[in-house]
Structure 1
Amino acid sequence: MEQEADGPPGRIADSAGEVAARVRTVVESAGCTQREFARRIVMDPSKLSRSLSGTRRFTVAELARIADAGEVDAGWLLGSRVVGDGGVAVAGPGADVGAGPDVGGGPGAGAGIRAGVQPGVRSAGASSPVPPRAPRAPSAGRPLQIVRETVRLIAEHGFHAVRVADIAAACATSTAAIHYHFPGRAELLEAAVRWCMDEDTASRAARIAEFGGGAGEDAAAELRELLALQTPRTAQQRRQWLVWLDLWAEAARSTAIGRLHVEYYRQWRATVSDVIRRGIEQGVFRDVDPEFSALRLTALIDGLASQVLAGAADDIEGTGPDEMYTALLAYIRTELAV
């Protein structure tokens, strides 16, 4: 794969691979997989992988989130030397660190990277092999706090009615701090959608693992468990579905959101078709086309969920979670069960 061009403002030049090497140190020190670290910083795992390999450049906001998740000095990631106690520069909360000639992507592209260290803390320079730790914010991870509050506000008011100022107020921080991690509304929506996707995938995996799902388990019972997870009963499930409604509208207009939309549905339908395929092998389902059945079942879930949410908006007497789940079970009986 070819090296990406300079691209939009905010990309960090890293021809020598030093920034990527420091980020790799942070990821390895986190004690988790690269995919899990990408989830923590609300970043596409493939983008993180490409940035680490040198075929894509990190953005300023991505490095800010990496520094936060890894509890390190963001200036160290860029190779900036930050000192306190009467030294050359003191970087308190919100202070900018000039990244010098290592920053590319337009005028001021690196000016938004903040050191994240308190006055009086002396940080290691660029040559330090060990990332200097930065104090944790009271939020225990500002990017995830921002994303969670964004999801809540989108669910309550809709994406286009939510202002950055509203998110900042919910996080008890400034709008500058929000833009520091997520430069624009598009990035916020993409992060919110990705977080909902990751939460749904994690919940699904945990539920199936708890249930004992696998090659030797009852595929019909496992499919019922998957359908229960897609029924908006809890407040969290309703919030995620409401964000999903905004996703449907934005996916037709935004390439980034459209890709997330396609990625999620591909994963979901693959999961469902795999369960149906095992059910056929076990003799509990008819000999149907697993992929086509998964597509039809997914369309039924989406349609019913939108009716449940519409009825719940003002306590309208309409389709409820119980009716939705009953209809989904009826599909299994009439279309799949032997």
Structure 2
Amino acid sequence: MSDRRTEIVRAATRVIARRGVRGLRVGELASEAGVSTALIYYHFTDRAGILRETLAFIGERADRYTAEPDPENAARGHRAQQSPRSELEQALLLELQNSAEVRENSTAWGELRASAVFESSLRDDLARATHTWVHEIAELLGRAHPAGTAPAHAASAERLTALLEGLSVRWLSGSLPLDRARTLLGEAVDAEMAGCRPVGIRP
């Protein structure tokens, strides 16, 4: 993606986080990005194209910051561990960190998901992005718990990512402290790891 195109989708993420998808106007986006509306249409054709590329940008940015060392552990002097379990926890917990980038990314993702209730054109792209995310978490679960089955890992990944989205909304809206959200998510990982068994089988 060109620098100008990247700056436009970065600006779109800011606008969506601030005003929601319904508040995204091409004129305001042009002003936010410091470009002309004609250039936006040149790069993205229409509003749907802007939303599609913005959703992809949000996913790529999340992939980047969830692959970095957890700043809370680094601040406590903990050495980064490379175990599959640590990779799984990091990929989830780093979606809950008090940085401007994560707040903006998570808010924009939530706005896009909420808007898909009313804008059917967003649903397919969101479904694909969600499927990719669930698949990535299921792969991490598989490495962390190799005795489990693929269907069990997929079901656990769906539960964990759905929980993470809910915790993120509560944290961002001020109804749940960040530390509590992270604790609850960590406990959910523990529960899923303990119960990661074939679907339909109970202890």
Q: Which of the five TM-score ranges fits, normalised by the shorter chain?
A: 0.7 to 0.9
Residue 336 of structure 1: how far off its partner (Å): 2.0
Residue 304 of structure 1: how far off its partner (Å): 0.7
1:336 aligned to which of 184, 189, 193: 193
Q: Distance in 1 between matches of 2:119 and 2:20?
A: 17
Whether 2:122 is the aligned partner of 1:265: answer no
Q: 3-state DSSP class of the match of 2:125?
A: helix
Identify the residue that residue 199 of structure 1 maps to in structure 2: 61
Given the superposition, is the C-alpha separation of residues 212 and 263 from structure 1 closer, same or farther in structure 2, using an over 3 Å criterion? farther
Whether 2:48 is the aligned partner of 1:186: answer yes
Q: Deviations over 1:264-302 (max 9, x none)?
A: 222221222222222223x7x8xx921111111111111
TM-score, normalized by length of structure 1? 0.49
Cα RMSD, aligned residues only: 2.8
Q: Distance in 1 between matches of 2:136 and 2:5?
A: 29
Q: 3-state DSSP class of the match of 2:35?
A: coil
Q: 3-state DSSP class of the match of 1:230?
A: coil
The answer on whether the counterparts of 1:190 and 1:256 sit within 8 Å (CA) in structure 2 is no
Letter in 1 for 2:167: L
The answer on whether the counterparts of 1:228 and 1:325 sit within 8 Å (CA) in structure 2 is yes
Whose radius of gyration is greater, 1 or 2? Answer: 1
Given the superposition, is the C-alpha separation of residues 274 and 157 from structure 1 closer, same or farther in structure 2, using an over 3 Å criterion? same
Identify the residue that residue 234 of structure 1 maps to in structure 2: 99
Residue 207 of structure 1: how far off its partner (Å): 5.3
Q: Deviations over 1:147-176 (max 9, x none)?
A: 111111111121222322212222233222
Identify the residue that residue 168 of structure 1 maps to in structure 2: 30
Residue 145 of structure 1: how far off its partner (Å): 1.2
Whether 2:89 is the aligned partner of 1:224: answer yes
Q: Deviations over 1:30-52 (max 9, x none)?
A: xxxxxxxxxx1xxxxxxxxxxxx
Whether 2:172 is the aligned partner of 1:309: answer yes
Q: Distance in 1 between matches of 2:87 and 2:4?
A: 36
Q: 3-state DSSP class of the match of 1:167?
A: helix
The answer on whether the counterparts of 2:66 and 2:92 sit within 8 Å (CA) in structure 1 is no
Q: Distance in 2 between matches of 1:142 and 1:334?
A: 45
Segments of 5+ residues of structure 2 without an aligned counterpart are 71-79, 196-203
The answer on whether the counterparts of 1:232 and 1:241 sit within 8 Å (CA) in structure 2 is no
The answer on whether the counterparts of 1:146 and 1:167 sit within 8 Å (CA) in structure 2 is yes
Aligned length: 186
Letter in 2 for 1:192: T
Q: Distance in 1 between matches of 2:54 and 2:88?
A: 27
Q: Distance in 2 between matches of 1:256 and 1:207?
A: 36
Q: Distance in 2 between matches of 1:319 and 1:332?
A: 19
Q: Deviations over 1:231-279 (max 9, x none)?
A: 1421111111111122213334555522221222222212222222222
Letter in 1 for 2:156: S
Whether 2:190 is the aligned partner of 1:325: answer no
The answer on whether the counterparts of 2:21 and 2:112 sit within 8 Å (CA) in structure 1 is no
Q: How many percent of aligned residue pairs carry the same amino acid?
A: 27
Greater relative contact order (Cα 8 A, min sep 6): structure 1 or 2?
2
The answer on whether the counterparts of 1:272 and 1:294 sit within 8 Å (CA) in structure 2 is yes
Q: Distance in 2 between matches of 1:157 and 1:148?
A: 14
Greater shift, 145-154 or 220-229, is seen at: 220-229
Segments of 5+ residues of structure 1 without an aligned counterpart are 1-39, 41-68, 70-140, 312-317
